[in-house]
Amino acid sequence: MNNKIYNFKVLKGILLSNLFAFVLIGITRYLELHPGVFVYAEFVIIPLVMGIISTWCWRDLQLKSRSLTGLSCVNGLLAIVLSSVFLGEGMICLLIVSPLILGFVITGTVIGKAMFKRDNKNLNMSVLSLLLVLFVADSVSDHQHERMVSDIVVIDAPTKEVWKHVVAFERIDEENKYWLFQIGMPSPVAATVEGHREGAGRKCIFSNGYVFDERIAVYNRERDLTFDIVSQPKDPEIMGHIDILRGQFLLKDNGDGTTTLTGNSWYRLYVFPLWYYDIWAESITRNVHLRVMDHIKSLSEKK
Amino acid sequence: MFAFTVKWLGFLKGIPGLALFFDALLKLQLFLLRPQLLSMLDEIELEVTSWEGISARTHKYGGLQFDYLDKEIGHLHSNGLLDILFSFKIKEQLREEGRIQDHHVFVNTGWITFGIRSKQDIPYALCLLKRSYLQKINGRPAQGYRSDH
């Protein structure tokens, strides 16, 4: 096979599969099947079918694993780049979504290779029909997920001292240990309050200058500070993907001069599948907690 | 990562497609970090599928399976692990050669694992597959077989 035909078939596989993906996403957006939510079907079934479509275009090329994997990566990366252009996604989001998209595009090529090797039209139609049914079923299903993440730190200081740094705290200057913060994801740096009472405004300031506006819902001195998130920044990394709903610090006097500090956060996710995105959401929330709570610990234990 | 997943998340392998997805991630990792190993796996596939009666297909838990007349002679995971079922006797002989290990899941069976890491490992991998192939041709039963693998 000459180079011209080879290149044409490779390009055809990449372009056709991406065209398929964007037309399908466009249709679901137009029909408003799941407004404001990115569903399992978009991150799993579409990449799978993209892999199958590209393998169909490349079925005469006798591609080996290395080339097939490489071309699948190009295919998936093009879809990711186009998503960033059309959907305005941030770099961290793209990084998080990459293993899922690339993994399922490669899985699609493996399935496609097996399908077209057998060349059983009934089997091929069955596989594609099943994927279509799954896509439609998932697209019209209700998607809601809210959860709480909780972390505990024991501080070698009395509750009275810890409380001073819980309500508001001065700037965090310690280096970030969490890899996502190190590569540019905003991390919390300070908190300010308008008053020490229920209903007072509180602001949590992040490293890139973004501010979460909060309102104190429970102000139980030296025991419980609970606040609702009134508005969160319009950051492409979080906008439309996660809403932080509520935060809470609970203090418990251990009776030996130490305090157990519990940090709780409630969030709502708008990206699915949960088995993938909830791991990230939990990890990020936990590291936001720990960054703040370690800071409170170090301020409280300062002699 | 492979050992951790197999040990702690292995029970999920029955979920349709999940093992294939995991294998695809192994392939992605290999492509990014050691692409030459993918070429070595291709080389093994090319050689083994040239043997009479051998066909290659996707292994049910991911990777590439080689069959002789619908009987498995061995399979290659996308991180370069080659798994083959032998009799206990042959497994012991191979162990004395010092290059194989117990299977990454089924330790007390005839299954062996050989990790392909460099070009020098290809002849030995082919030798193991050939041995299994010849065993199938001669119709010897594979002792120590675990049907759920």
Lowest mean pLDDT of A86-90, A128-132, A134-138, A169-173, name the range.
Answer: A86-90
| pLDDT score for B140 | 59
Q: How confident is the model at residue A120 (pLDDT cuts 50, 70, 90)?
A: confident
Q: For strand B64-68 and strand A211-220, is the pairing parallel, antiparallel, or unpaired? A: unpaired
Short-list B2, B107, B117, CA closest to B61:
B2
Please report, rounded to a whole number, the percentage of residues in chain A having pLDDT higher than 70: 99
Q: What are the phi and psi torsion angles at A124 (to 5°)? A: -60, -45
Placement of tokens 């809403």 in the chain? A243
Minimal CA separation from A236 to chain B, in Å: 27
Indicate which CATH number applies to the domain containing B13: 3.90.1150
Q: For strand A259-269 and strand A242-253, is the pairing parallel, antiparallel, or unpaired? A: antiparallel
Q: Does residue B35 belong to the interface with chain A, where contact is any CB pair within 8 Å?
A: yes
Query: With 0-12 CB in 10 A as exposed, 13-18 as middle and 19+ as buried, what is A33?
Result: middle
Q: Please give the residue range of the domain that contains residue B98.
A: 2-137
Contact residues on chain A for B46, CB-CB shorter than 8 A:
64
Task: Give residue-wise pLDDT tens across range B66-113.
Answer: 999 889 999 999 999 999 999 999 999 999 999 999 988 888 899 999
Q: How confident is the model at residue A141 (pLDDT cuts 50, 70, 90)?
A: confident
In a domain, B117, yes or no: yes
Q: Kindly state the tokens that stand for B81.
A: 């692990």
Lowest mean pLDDT of A145-149, A233-237, B60-64, name the range.
Answer: A233-237
The domain limits of chain A are 3-140, 146-301
- Between A106, A114, A117, which is nearest B28 by CB? A106
Rounded Cα–Cα distance for residues B146 and B142 (Å)? 10
Task: Give residue-wise pLDDT tens across range A239-278.
Answer: 678 899 999 999 999 999 999 999 999 999 999 899 899 9
In a domain, B41, yes or no: yes
Q: How many residues does chain B have?
A: 149
- Beta carbons of A99 and B58 less than 8 Å apart: no
| pLDDT score for B147 | 38
Placement of tokens 């969490």 in the chain? A178
- Beta carbons of A65 and B45 less than 8 Å apart: yes
- Between B20, B21, B39, which is nearest A66 by CB? B39
Q: Which of B40 and B105 is assigned the larger pLDDT?
A: B40
| pLDDT score for B70 | 85
Instruction: Say if residue B146's pLDDT is above 80.
Output: no
Q: Which of A32 and B149 is assigned the larger pLDDT?
A: A32
pTM of the complete model: 0.84
| pLDDT score for A1 | 66
| pLDDT score for A143 | 86
Instruction: Say if residue B148's pLDDT is above 50.
Output: no
Average pLDDT over residues A190-197: 94
Q: Answer whether B37's CB lies under 8 Å from B43's CB.
A: no
In a domain, B142, yes or no: no
Q: How many residues does chain A have?
A: 303
Cα-based distances in Å from A251 to A118, A152, A162, A203, A298? 64, 10, 8, 20, 16
| pLDDT score for A111 | 92
| Mean residue pLDDT across chain B | 87
- Between A64, A73, A110, which is nearest B42 by CB? A64
In a domain, B148, yes or no: no
- Beta carbons of A106 and B27 less than 8 Å apart: yes
- Between B20, B42, B58, which is nearest A66 by CB? B42
Q: Which residues contact A54 (CB under 8 A, 6 or more apart)?
A: A13, A14, A16, A17, A71, A72, A75, A105, A108, A109, A112
| pLDDT score for A106 | 96
Minimal CA separation from A279 to chain B, in Å: 15
What region, left, alpha or beta, does residue A169 occupy, with left being phi > 0 and alpha being psi -120 to 50 degrees?
A: beta
ipTM surpassing 0.85 = no
Q: How confident is the model at residue B17 (pLDDT cuts 50, 70, 90)?
A: confident
A63 to chain B: closest CA residue: B42
The CATH number given to A146-301 is: 3.30.530.20
Structural domain count, chain B: 1
